[in-house]
Amino acid sequence: MRVRLLDIAHARSGDKGDTANVGLIALRNEWYPILVRYVTRERVTEHFANVIKGSVERFELPNLFALNFLLHGALGGGGTVTLRTDAQAKVYSSAMLRLVIEVPDAEAREAGLPEYRA
Amino acid sequence: MSRIVRIAAGQGFWGDWLEAPRRQVEGGPIDYLMLDYLAEVTMSILQKQMQRDPLAGYARDFITQMEGVLPAALEKGVRVVANAGGVNPRGCAEALLAMARGLAHHDRLRVGVVSGDDLLPRIDELIAAGHELAHMETGAPLSTVRARVLSANAYVGAPPIIEALARDANVVITGRCTDTALILAPLMHEFGWPANDWNRLASGIVAGHIVECGAQSTGGNCAYDWSTIPDLENVGFPIVEVAEDGSFVVTKHPGTGGRVDVHGVTEQLVYEMGDPREYFTPDVIADFTTIRISDDGKDRVRVFGVHGTPPTDKLKVSIAYRDGYKAVGTLVYAWPDALAKAKEADRIIRARLATLGLTFDLIHTEFVGATATHGPLATIPDELPEVQLRIGVRGNDRKAIERFTREVAPLVLTGPPGVTGYAGGRPKVEEVVAYWPALVDKSVIRPSVSILTT
């Protein structure tokens, strides 16, 4: 089953130099393991492949049912240098929520995940 | 009942809602008002202002805001802690005192001034003594851009603010300090937490992180169920009610708008986060993976269980330096074929710049309404009602950047049809001020505190 992150998570993003951080939080606590399993560093690297220049790091915060991603080389040089509209990575959060993951049907049904049809 | 200290945040950056500080003091009982004015880039702007006027170099908004706040704060015994001093904390304090002389209760005013974070006059001495001030990401030594440095400030922690409070300051003005120290210091002062009580210090840091961006923890910029957040026109800024053991409740004044819930506070916890296990400050390293958070009733969120470990022997230094010029111009293209026309206009401008033989470090184009925010991830409908072409250039050759600013408006008569939105005039050439994060040994920074009265 295809599941879009917008339907199972919320997010906030910010900047540090040329790096964007995206905190991704499960909409329901029981969906956190789905994020851990399927929103991998590799999957996020692939998602942002044509958007950022550097690598992706992922950190787990099981206490907050959240993952934190660092997207390096994401801001065209960063805060004051960049020519981007989104100089401070404010909307990387919703760019992350566009990501669609593939979850095995049985697991998706058991977790009550909403299917993404598009 | 055990004692509670209430700290209200009244400003999340320089330019935040002007009404917030007064509303925090008047809206209910608080012990401290914390005001954060300094973003990374702010120090260089202030340094430039002080070069033009030796009496400037601080957040002037602070003086205006305090005019409305100070009489009530002095009467109620609310103490103010603000990093409004910028690169001239002493000048900021003098301006505050001059303004306050006309206000009620000004005889009670004791302004604590924290200085010593400004390293600009000491850069050469530090480099000569072997402090490279290397760029934290690239590793390059500061000497490579030394001649272009505009400002250099160490992020100091809680101790000098605690000293000012211990000397009975009721307004503390700092220069560059960590945002979180503005919250941690009053807590350490009130509860007498020792400087090695790592868990309680870390809890104070987490409290600071949650409120330092103002209403971002009370419903502002909140993605979770955003359309149901009530009454944002009347948004309440955050207040932390901290207990002696370091645990605290995030809330806001009754009758204000916005929302404080676990979802919104969690969003703010992950904002601007690096490795959550190591949130570095000069006072303590907080482990954000130990934070426990729970619902504590309407507009109340409880935070507890935070672990901390000793800090390193380094301080972060925020350095700003000149790095060339930039300019950004825009035009708006209307239906039909809005995106195709904007793309053609972009191609034409780039071709003309190339024909002129101008070179830039970067030419960056965005199509606002289509791909400006999410780039290739965006899904674009077949028909767009309008698209804004936004084209920017950056480089060291000021003349080339200036020539670029003359190449945008001509598109109105010499490019694709259906174009408007050029009334703002030519793009402006801006100097680029770049940011250089570095570390320095804690031992070389000696913050000092002085107390001033009317």
Model pLDDT for residues B225-246, shown as the tens digit of each residue: 999 999 999 999 999 999 999 9
Separation in Å, CA B326 to CA B106, B338, B364, B400: 46, 26, 11, 10
B323-435, which class in CATH?
A: alpha beta
Q: Distance (Å, rounded) from C-alpha B191 to C-alpha A58?
A: 37
| Cβ-Cβ contacts under 8 Å, A95 against chain B | 373-375, 377
- Yes or no, beta carbons of A64 and B293 under 8 Å apart: yes
Structure confidence at residue B107 (pLDDT): 94
Is the peptide bond preceding residue B336 cis, with omega within 30 degrees of 0? yes
Quick one: tokens of A78? Answer: 């960063």
Nearest CA of chain B to the CA of A110: how many Å? Answer: 24
Q: Which residue from B118, B89, B88 is spatially nearest to B444, judged by alpha carbons?
A: B118
Q: What is the pLDDT of residue B48?
A: 84
| Helices of type H across B33-148 | 42-52, 60-76, 89-100, 123-128
**Mapping DSSP to helix (H, G, I), strand (E, B) and coil, where does residue A18 land?**
coil
Helix (H) or strand (E) holding B263: helix B262-269
Beta bridge partners of B279: B286
What does the pLDDT read at residue B1? 52
Q: In what order do the strands lie in the sheet with B110-115?
A: B292-295, B301-304, B248-251, B239-243, B4-11, B32-35, B79-82, B171-174, B110-115, B448-453
Percent residues over pLDDT 90 in chain A: 94
**E strand or H helix at B159, and its extent?**
helix B159-166
Report the sign of the C-alpha dihedral through residues B263, B282, B30, B191, in that order: positive
For residues B177 and B36, is the Cβ–Cβ distance under 8 A? no
Indicate yes or no: CB of A61 within 8 angstroms of CB of B267. Answer: no
Q: What's the residue count for chain A? A: 118
What is the rounded radius of gyration, in angstroms, for the C-alpha atoms of chain A?
Answer: 14
State pLDDT tens for residues B340-370.
999 999 999 999 999 999 999 999 999 999 9
Whether residue B323 and residue A59 make contact (CB cut-off 8 A), yes or no, is no
Query: How many secondary structure helices (H) and strands (E) does chain B include?
Result: 12, 19
Q: Which two tokens stand for residue B394?
A: 């950056």
At a CB cut-off of 8 Å and minimum separation 6, what does A69 contact?
Answer: A21, A22, A23, A24, A41, A44, A56, A57, A58, A59, A96
Residue B77 near residue B405, CB atoms below 8 Å:
no
What is residue B151's predicted lDDT score, i.e. its pLDDT? 92
Q: Collect all residues of chain A within an 8 Å Cβ-Cβ radius of residue B224.
A: 10, 25, 27
Contact (CB<8Å) A80/B434: yes
Is A47 at the interface with chain B, CB within 8 A? yes
Is pLDDT above 60 for B86? Answer: yes
**What's the mean pLDDT in A45-72?**
98
Q: Which of B223, B328, B377 has its CB closest to that of A98? A: B377
Across the interface, whether the CB atoms of B270 and A21 are under 8 A apart is answered yes
CB A31 within 8 A of CB B258: no
Is residue A104 less than 8 Å (CB to CB) from chain B?
no
Asked if B48 contacts B137 with a C-beta cutoff of 8 angstroms, the reply is: no
Candidates B378, B15, B38; CA nearest to B178 is B38
**Mean pLDDT for all residues in chain B:** 96
Running DSSP on this structure, what letter comes out for residue B202?
Answer: H
Q: Would you call B272 and A15 a contact, using CB atoms and an 8 Å cutoff?
A: yes
Complex ipTM: 0.97
Is the Cβ of A21 closer than 8 Å to some Cβ of chain B?
yes
CA B265 → CA B138, B172, B186, B262, distances in Å? 33, 27, 22, 5
What is the percent of chain B where pLDDT is above 70?
A: 100
3-class state of residue A113 by DSSP: coil
Between the two ends of chain A, the Cα-to-Cα distance in Å is 12
Cβ contacts of A106 within 8 Å, gap of 6 or more = none
Of all residues in chain B, the percent with pLDDT exceeding 90 is: 94
Tell me, what's the pLDDT at B340? 98
Alpha carbon distance B9, B32 (integer Å): 8
Report chain A residues whose CB lies below 8 A from the CB of B323: 81
Q: Cβ of A80 and B375 within 8 Å?
A: no
Contact A63/B at CB under 8 A: yes
Residues A95, B377: C-beta atoms closer than 8 Å: yes
Reduced to 3 states (helix: H, G, I; strand: E, B; else coil), residue B126 is helix
* Cα A52 off chain centre by: 13
C-beta atoms of B433 and A14 within 8 A: no
pTM recorded for the entire structure? 0.96
- Residue B339: predicted pLDDT: 98
pLDDT exceeds cutoff 80 at B161: yes
Task: Read off the DSSP letter of residue B119.
Answer: -
Closest CA in chain B for residue A67: B270
Question: pLDDT band at B293, cuts 50/70/90?
Answer: very high
Which residue of chain A has the CA closest to B224?
A10
**Residue B453, number of CB atoms within 10 A of its CB:** 12
Delimit the domains of chain B by residue range: 4-117+155-312, 323-435
pLDDT at position B421, please?
86
Q: Are B270 and A12 an interchain contact pair (Cβ–Cβ within 8 Å)?
A: yes
Size of interface A-B (CB pairs under 8 A): 128
- Top residue of B216, B265, B273 to mutate, by most chain A CBs within 10 Å, is B273
